[in-house]
Amino acid sequence: MWGRVYRDRQIFVRTDGRLRFLRVSSGLQIFVSGVALGTLLWAGIATWTASEQQAMLVQSRERMGALERDRTRLGGELGAVRAQYSNATTEIVRQYRELHRLIATRGVLERDLVQAQTRLAEVETAFHVALNESRELDQHLGHLRQRLQVSVASNHLMETRLREAASALAGANRGRQQEAERRRAYESRLSALESALMQSTANQDVVRQRLYEQQQAIETVEGSRDVARAEIRQMSSRIAALTSDLDQTQRSNASLRKRLASTADALTRTHEEQIEAERKGYRLASTVSSLEGRLDQVRQTQLELLRGIRSKAQRNIAALEATLQMTEIPLNELLEATHAYRPGIGGPMIALDDEGLAEDESFESMVGTLEMDLLRWEAMQELLENAPLARPTTTGYVSSEFGPRKDPITGRRAVHKGIDIAAPARTPIYATARGLVTFAGRKSAYGRLVEIDHGYGFVTRYAHLRSIDVEAGQSVEFHDQVGTMGSSGRSTGSHVHYEVLFQGEQVDPSNFLRAGRYVFKVKDASG
């Protein structure tokens, strides 16, 4: 078959009348056909690879755009949540201040109530003392009345005796007058009876004896009258003293009645104040209970909102952690690298009073956990934005992996600190993340080299370039062209030597490329 298709052929060429021919053997025909077929196959494969890479790049850009939109949306949601959290915090602080004010008012009312109760107790004590004094005064007044009654009875007795004495004195006076009349009668008769008197000595002695007895009776009556007068004067002074005591007692009773009336008024006012204070206390307790109920409702609503946000944030964090773990760099080291680029915050820890908030999960602990989750999410977002997760070219294939290999020039065992991506010369080389160009020029075996510092400990190198399109100190964005593919330096053909360094040590770029392909699944994982 090959003999019929590829037979020896001759090509005749006529030049200026001279005829020449070129002999084309079958082997040469087969060789040329093979070269043409190989070229066509290579061109087809390269075209297909370029189209696939272009499609992947377009898809990557679309997914990066979707991820950026999702990030913007999440940022908006985070801002809204922070605004809600700020508003809720402001409302809680206001309600806490109102509650503390009510509690302070309640404390003042309780102190007023205690003072009123103390005052009431003092008034009650004073009332009891006044009541005891009143009882003692009543007893003393009763004794005085008894003494007055005794004095009145004695006075009546003395008056009776005085009347009897006066009656006796009147009788004595009448008897005296009668005796005087008799004396005059006797004297008148004496002159007439001088002779008879002399004769009647015995009768005269009897008369004298009777006169003497009458005089003794008169003297006795006059002594009794003086004694009665002295007793009357003594009783009058005692009556005056008793009357003065009675007036003083009545004045004391009037003052005591006034004090009792004032005490009763004070007790009434104190009782009314106590009732009003109890009413205010009940209203205050009702208000506090209502506020506590509203606080519970607000706290439950905020807890539910925070739980939902935290759940979504944790899902996003889990997806981002899975992506970053594909770089095979410990996640803690990656996150520690973000601390140098964050502003310092701190201060003493002053815990809020969790009384009334201690449940299965308090609001403060939930907010603290969410803040930590958001900080972790932001740190990983910053890492994703600055980590070199994309390919430096849109075409080509990996011709040499990271790690041990046979040196392409010496053939000895060696360590390859990056990956080689082969593609035609002048293929554009792009920055795999935004950063600052720290080196752009020739560097020994690297040939033409571009080195970019992306921050957070990440550095990328693009070696063996044909041309360099950036210069040191220039800032570049993601997918900015930094040069073109070539074979400068220690190289066997057109390719780019791509290195990724973290904290000054080379790491496998393939892990970052694999993580970059996985990044576009974050949206599905976070949705």
Question: Residue for token digits 């490329």?
Answer: 513
Beta bridge partner(s), residue 499: 461
Q: What is the 3-state secondary structure (H, E, C) of 437-470?
A: EEEEEEEHHHEEEEEEEEECCEEEEEEEEEEECC
Helices 363-386 and 26-199: crossing angle in degrees, nearest 10, is 160
Q: Residue 218: what pLDDT?
A: 65
d(CA 463, CA 69): 34
d(CA 302, CA 367): 10
Are 442 and 466 a contacting pair, CB within 8 Å? no
Q: Residue 160: what pLDDT?
A: 67
pTM above 0.85, yes or no: no
Are 454 and 387 a contacting pair, CB within 8 Å? yes
d(CA 299, CA 363): 7
* Predicted confidence (pLDDT) per residue in 494-526, tens digit: 999 999 999 999 999 999 998 888 775 554 444
Q: What is the pLDDT along the chain (527 residues), one digit of tens a residue?
A: 566 677 777 776 777 777 776 777 777 778 888 899 999 999 999 888 888 888 888 887 787 777 788 778 877 777 777 777 677 677 777 776 777 777 777 777 777 777 767 777 776 776 677 667 667 766 766 676 676 666 556 656 656 665 665 565 566 567 667 666 766 665 666 566 556 556 655 655 665 676 676 667 666 766 766 766 676 677 667 667 766 766 776 676 677 667 767 766 766 777 777 787 778 777 777 777 777 777 777 778 777 877 887 788 788 788 778 888 888 888 788 877 776 545 444 444 444 444 444 445 566 777 778 778 888 888 888 888 889 989 999 999 999 999 999 888 888 999 999 999 999 999 999 999 999 999 999 998 999 999 999 998 999 999 999 999 999 999 999 999 999 999 999 999 999 999 999 999 999 999 999 888 877 555 444 44
d(CA 342, CA 150): 107
* CATH top class, domain 397-405+416-511: mainly beta
Half-sphere exposure of 145 (CA within 13 A, CB side): 8
Return the CA Rg of the chain. 67
Q: Residue 331, exposed/middle/buried by CB under 10 A (0-12, 13-18, 19+)?
A: middle
CB count, 10 Å around CB of 5?
Answer: 10
Tokens of 296: 């519970």
Residue 438 Cα distances to 293, 316, 364, 455, angstroms: 61, 34, 45, 11
Helix H or strand E segment including 476 = strand 475-476
d(CA 437, CA 453): 6
* Predicted confidence (pLDDT) per residue in 127-157, tens digit: 677 667 667 766 766 676 676 666 556 656 6
Which sign does the torsion angle of CA 65, 66, 67, 71 carry? positive
Which sign does the torsion angle of CA 69, 74, 78, 84 carry? positive
Tokens of 310: 């935290």
Half-sphere exposure of 67 (CA within 13 A, CB side): 22
Q: Residue 352: what pLDDT?
A: 45
Q: What are phi and psi of 163, to 5 degrees?
A: -65, -40
Half-sphere exposure of 320 (CA within 13 A, CB side): 24
Tokens of 474: 């220039």
d(CA 494, CA 125): 111
d(CA 433, CA 352): 44
Tokens of 468: 């360099």
Are 313 and 378 a contacting pair, CB within 8 Å? no
Q: Residue 28: what pLDDT?
A: 79
Biggest CA-to-CA distance, the chain: 252
Residue type, 424: P
